[in-house]
């Protein structure tokens, strides 16, 4: 078990440091090395499916311990991050070929992967917090990479929001250590059953319950910053336009899911869904989520800068996942995990396509791509497939998750949220069609106004996009393949 931990956490991080050695000044050698590291990381992820259990590397007190565990939830997000980092890494070899400071980029790319794997393997609250903060610090240079004034300002904003959000999560940790007991993650939560029924509690126990609810809300809002949930969402539309497209792809497709996983751990493995259901925490959380979905989609519809439009889209779409988590039942949770997987694939394709348009179409604006689809047919075909999936058009991956999310809402809530949630998701889907279909329509059907020297991207950029599009189609046609991967987690709802 320790060997798998070393392979998933320390191996990528040490390999990232090796990218700076003189032997890897040659781009071809370094790219082969990085590809080998990403491939081996994915192999370690697959091998980890044979592991089960937990272990500690450091134990100071019951609450202050570095504890790691291999379980279904962690492996699900490990699989997502391993696949997406591999695909985006291959894409980056061509995309980054004209960028400066490439060794530094791959240093922090692999360091971030190792820290993200640590988040996935965290077995208690303290370990989760430490690796979550480490991931934020190590991913910040990916935003900063170009070192322009805009990227420096965006990196500062990204770091500020990340640290502030994690600090709220730390406040939730302090409250739980005082009023909740053990902070080790256990399926179903560790809060005593006696605290689940407020009408039967004494004044002291009622106070304890209220403190725990406050701690849960602090953690949800704090870790929700990384997932782009309002009110701590503003870093996404600031960071994405200035970061390299390959950095934007992992920020949106993968790193936002670290916020999702952190909330999943706190809600389902610490507090327990039964403790939070029908509380003010659940309803305040759902209110923030639906507001984020609607505002994110509306701003994306109005935005003309391509990567900024996709960033606002991520603000909206990742909150679909949070909406499923907030349902606190098996149907909603299944929808959340399905949408997490679908969004990772789809948004990586869209950001990589945007990078191809910026690099080979010579424009950053969504309103200047008229006719470009005839010069970049494969890129725009990938945009079309990904857009259909994100909107939720059958049979592409994305439709089945929305079905579970809406059904879960109808099963969960006994008030207006039972219909308000599905209505907001429907409105968001219509807005999504508006801001994504225009890319395909303008690219293929409008008279050509795009740059005359626009041309298709190379094989290294196209291959990952095509592979992910194929997975979007396969998972949509056979969603049971993905659902079988997440069946192990349904029992915790």
Rounded percentage of the chain residues whose pLDDT exceeds 70: 96
Give residue for tokens 């956490």.
9
What local confidence, expressed as pLDDT, does residue 286 receive? 93
* CA distance between the termini of the chain: 27
> Are the C-beta atoms of 341 and 410 separated by less than 8 Å?
no
The pairing of beta strand 65-70 with beta strand 53-59:
antiparallel
What local confidence, expressed as pLDDT, does residue 490 receive? 46
Residues sharing a CB contact under 8 Å with residue 62, sequence separation 6 or more, in sequence order: 182, 183
Rounded percentage of the chain residues whose pLDDT exceeds 90: 47
Average pLDDT rounded to a whole number, residues 49-67:
79
What local confidence, expressed as pLDDT, does residue 491 receive? 45
**pLDDT per residue over 205-224, tens digit each?**
888 888 999 999 999 999 99
Residue 72 has pLDDT above 60, yes or no: yes
Residue 259 has pLDDT above 70, yes or no: yes
Question: HSE on the CB side for 379, CA within 13 Å?
Answer: 29
CA distance 149 to 164: 23
At residue 13 the predicted structure's pLDDT band, cuts being 50, 70 and 90, is: very high
Give, as one character, the DSSP assignment of residue 83: H
Looking at per-residue pLDDT, the higher value among 159 and 451 belongs to: 159
> Are the C-beta atoms of 8 and 38 separated by less than 8 Å?
no
Question: Phi/psi of residue 124, each to 5°?
Answer: -150, 175
CA distance 306 to 443: 13
CA distance 392 to 395: 8
Domain ranges for the chain: 1-275, 277-493
């Amino acid at each position: 078990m320790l060997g798998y931990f070393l392979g998933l956490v320390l191996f990528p991080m040490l390999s990232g440091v090796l990218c700076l050695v003189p032997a890897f000044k040659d781009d071809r050698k370094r790219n082969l090395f990085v590809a080998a590291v990403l491939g081996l990381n994915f192999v370690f992820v697959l091998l980890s499916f044979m592991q089960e259990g937990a272990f500690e590397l450091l134990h100071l007190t019951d609450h202050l311990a570095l504890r790691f565990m291999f379980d279904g939830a962690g492996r699900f997000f490990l699989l997502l991050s391993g696949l997406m980092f591999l695909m985006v890494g291959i894409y980056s070899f061509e995309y980054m070929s004209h960028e400066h400071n490439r060794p530094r980029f791959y240093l922090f790319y692999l360091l971030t992967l190792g820290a993200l794997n640590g988040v996935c393997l965290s077995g208690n609250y303290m370990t989760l917090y430490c690796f979550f903060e480490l991931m934020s610090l190590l991913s910040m240079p990916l935003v900063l990479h170009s070192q322009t004034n805009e990227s420096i300002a965006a990196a500062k904003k990204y770091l500020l929001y990340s640290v502030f959000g994690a600090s709220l999560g730390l406040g939730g940790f302090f409250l739980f250590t005082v009023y909740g007991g053990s902070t080790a993650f256990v399926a179903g939560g560790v809060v005593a059953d006696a605290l689940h029924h407020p009408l039967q509690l004494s004044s002291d126990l009622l106070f304890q319950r209220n403190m725990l609810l406050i701690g849960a809300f602090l953690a949800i809002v704090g870790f929700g910053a990384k997932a782009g949930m309002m009110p701590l969402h503003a870093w996404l539309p600031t960071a994405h336009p200035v970061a390299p497209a390959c950095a934007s792809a992992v920020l949106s497709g993968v790193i936002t899911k670290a916020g999702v996983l952190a909330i999943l751990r706190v809600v389902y493995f610490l507090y327990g869904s039964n403790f939070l259901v029908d509380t003010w925490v659940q309803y305040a959380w759902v209110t923030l989520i639906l507001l984020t979905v609607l505002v994110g989609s509306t701003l994306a519809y109005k935005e003309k800068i391509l990567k900024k439009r996709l960033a606002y889209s991520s603000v909206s779409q990742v909150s679909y996942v949070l909406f499923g988590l907030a349902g606190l039942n098996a149907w909603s949770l299944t929808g959340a995990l399905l949408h997490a997987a679908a969004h990772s694939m789809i948004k990586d394709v869209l950001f990589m396509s945007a990078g191809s348009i910026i690099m080979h179409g010579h424009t950053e604006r969504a309103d200047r791509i008229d006719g470009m689809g005839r010069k970049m047919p494969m890129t725009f075909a990938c945009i079309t497939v990904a857009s259909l999936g994100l909107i939720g058009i059958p049979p592409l991956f994305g439709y089945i998750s929305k079905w579970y999310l809406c059904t879960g809402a109808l099963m969960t809530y006994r008030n207006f949220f039972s219909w308000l949630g599905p209505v907001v998701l429907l409105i968001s889907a219509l807005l999504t069609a508006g801001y994504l279909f225009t890319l395909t329509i303008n690219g293929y059907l409008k008279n050509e106004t795009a740059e005359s020297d626009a041309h298709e991207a190379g094989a290294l950029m196209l291959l990952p996009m095509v592979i992910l599009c194929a997975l979007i189609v396969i998972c949509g046609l056979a969603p049971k393949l993905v659902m079988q991967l997440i069946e192990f987690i349904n029992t915790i709802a």
